[in-house]
Structure 1
Amino acid sequence: MIRILALLAGLLALSALPAAAQNPVEITADNFTINEESQEGVFTGNVVVIHPSVTVRAPKVVITYGEGGTSDIESFEATGNVHLETPEQDATGERAVFDPAARTLHLTGNVVVTNPSGTVRGPELLVNLDTGVSTFTGSQSGRVTGTFTTE
């Protein structure tokens, strides 16, 4: 069974950056722009977000923060060729949006999730971190397919 939650657990730390001293998040990119008016931090060019439990790679990552400043993360959006990896599995897609308030991750655009037990592909994946339910959805751009290894 594909365990999406393990892959995404690290993204929860992005919603609580004050805890960064305990679980540091390292972000590297070719460029970084912060816009105080729109309350956005934009990382572009070979962006790599490293947390102890997940690594995110993308051409662009936009972090929107609230009134509490840069430690008050409201959303995290990675776009382009997005790659999420943990020691247990990999996921790829064209866009990943993490919403800390709703505790959801929405991965869209040619989504592929792979681990030693199999591979699932589909146009869209929604993960609810509170319920533990991961839902792949088909659309006009394709159906959900899976290949699983059996013993």
Structure 2
Amino acid sequence: MRRMTIGLAIGALGAMSLATAAWTQISSSGEPFMVGADDLELIQADGLQIWRGRAEASQGENRLRAGEIRVYHQTRDGGFGAAERIEAIGEVFFVTPEQVARGDRAVYTAANNTLTVTGDVILRQGDNVLTGSNLSINIGTGRARMEGAPTGNAGRRVQGVFYPDRN
């Protein structure tokens, strides 16, 4: 059975209280940001939280799932400040009410409010499917861009299957 020490629990609570402005990351809804996993490791000196084992972050109706989610914060007064970057590692799913994106890795960057999913990327909206190697989504505007793999990776192109009379 995995256990969190009392010191780690106190550190986590302290870190969470300093990061309130930081937790509006994967949705423009303004709703609370929630995260959970089997384990949590805090590296206070580096401003890093590592959520491992069936990690899932959610905000509003948007969810980010992966084997591991890392949250990189600015450090402030010995604690965590605003989140600058979130990395999801392993089989990654970004789920919204309209779409599901799957990839090998995802990185959210707060500076430009963008989530980038890389690897073998599959984007589904209803029956429609789009595949590529790099999907970039601006969370605030909803604007997205899918790219193919570089020529060194068998020259894989962006491909899609669309059903005009279905969602």
Given the two structures, how large is their TM-score scaled by the length of structure 2? 0.72
1:16 corresponds to which letter in structure 2?
A: A
How far off its partner does 1:39 sit?
0.9
Q: Which residue of 2 aligns with 1:72?
A: 82
* C-alpha distance in 2 between matches for 1:77 and 1:23: 20
Q: How far, CA to CA, are the matches of 1:147 and 1:70 in structure 2?
A: 44
CA separation of 1:107 and 1:53: change in aligned 2, threshold 3 A: same
- Cα drift, residue 117 of structure 1: 5.5
Matched, 1:115 2:125: yes
Aligned residue number for residue 95 of structure 1: 105
- Contact 2:75/2:81 (<8 A) preserved: no
Give the conservation status (yes or no) of the 8 Å contact 1:65–1:71. Answer: yes
CA distance in 1, matches of 2:57, 2:33: 7
Structure 1 residue 147: Cα displacement: 0.6
Question: Residue 6 of structure 1 aligns with which residue?
Answer: none
Aligned 8 A contact 2:46 2:75 in 1? no
- 2:59 corresponds in structure 1 to 51
The residue aligned with 1:147 is 161
One-letter identity of the residue aligned with 1:116? G
Deviation at 1:23, TM superposition (A): 1.7
CA deviation string 1:72-113 (max 9, x = no partner) = 000000010001112211110001101011222211001111
| 4+ long deviations beyond 4 Å | 129-132
The alignment covers a number of residue pairs equal to: 136
Q: Is 1:30 equivalent to 2:12 in the alignment?
A: no
Percent identity over paired residues:
28
* CA distance 1:51–1:27, change in 2 (3 Å): same
Higher-Rg structure is 2
Report if the CA contact (8 A) 2:45-2:75 is conserved: no
Structure 1 gaps, min length 5 = 1-13
Q: Residue 149 of structure 1 aligns to a residue in which SS?
A: coil
1:107-137 deviation per Cα after TM superposition (whole angstroms, max 9, x unaligned): 1001111012611100111224566542211
Structure 2 counterpart SS, 1:37: helix
Q: Does 1:84 align with 2:98?
A: no
Question: Which consecutive unaligned segments of at least 5 residues does structure 2 have?
Answer: 1-19, 25-29
**Greater CA deviation, 130-139 or 46-55?**
130-139
CA contact (8 A) 1:117 1:150 kept: no
